[in-house]
Amino acid sequence: MKRNISEFGNLGLLEDREEDDEKLRLPGARKTDMASRSFKPEVRVAALKFSPTGRAWCAATNEGLLVYSLDSHLIFDPFRLDESITPKTIRDTLDDLDYSKGI
């Protein structure tokens, strides 16, 4: 047993590696692409609103408007929505008493 001990520890526990294999293999580590990076996306919520019935809610986030509902048959389908529609233009339309266009 003493003959298997070196200055690095027990020789029986040291791994034999090929000369051209310079990567250190760690226990439990999987072979992966070392260039790939993983990150956890960060979502910021600016506003959170619930429906009066409590069956749906929406969140205004940096990813966009997220609408969640317990009812599977409801579909949020905005039409004629473009970049010219802003909170200011909506307020101006409502001030002109054109409620159907403001909504």
The pLDDT value recorded for residue 6 is: 72
62 lies in a domain?
Answer: yes
Per-residue pLDDT of the chain (103 residues; tens, 9 = 90+): 566 777 767 766 666 655 555 566 666 666 666 666 676 778 899 999 999 988 899 999 998 889 888 887 767 677 777 888 888 999 999 999 988 888 7
Query: Distance from CA of residue 44 to its chain's centroid?
Result: 11
Helix (H) / strand (E) containing 89: helix 87-95
Q: Confirm whether 68 is domain-assigned.
A: yes
Indicate whether 13 belongs to any domain: no
Structural domains in the chain (count): 1
Q: What is the token pair recorded at 44?
A: 């910021």
What are the angstrom distances between the C-alpha of 96 and each of 29, 80, 82, 84, 86? 66, 20, 21, 17, 16
Name residue 57's beta-bridge partners.
50, 68
Is 28 part of a structural domain of the chain? Answer: no
Give the structural domain span for 57.
45-102
Residue type at 77 in one-letter notation? D
